[in-house]
Amino acid sequence: MLRITIELVPGGIELESRAVASMQISNVCDLADCSDYHVDITETANPLTGDPARKAEYMVVAHHRRQRVWALLEKACCELLKDRNNSLKS
């Protein structure tokens, strides 16, 4: 499993840092060369955009594992943004 945590560090002051989002990416194909992944995300509310806190889950399908980790993260983020764009259209 991969866990990504996004922290806001206001003015670079570590003592004021706080987590604003996290993502967990779990392989569901027994580490096959081409694997599917379950993705869970959590976001805190954003007062600047007016977006409420949310949780979501979705899949990344048929990812070739012999790539850098950034390729999997990119696919997970793209799926997240598709979900977000669909939510905004409703």
pLDDT tens sequence for the chain (90 residues):
999 999 999 999 999 999 999 999 999 999 899 999 999 999 999 988 898 999 999 999 999 999 999 999 999 999 998 866 545 433
User: How many structural domains comprise the chain?
Assistant: 1
Buried b (16+ CB within 10 A) or exposed e, 38-75: ebebebbeeeeeeeeeeeeeeebeebeeeeeeeebbeb
The answer to the question of residue 85 being in a domain is no
Domain extent, residue 61, equals: 2-80
The answer to the question of residue 87 being in a domain is no
The answer to the question of residue 88 being in a domain is no
pLDDT tens string 51-64: 899 999 999 999 99
The answer to the question of residue 90 being in a domain is no
Cβ–Cβ < 8 Å for 22, 39: no
pTM summary value:
0.85
Cβ–Cβ < 8 Å for 40, 55: yes
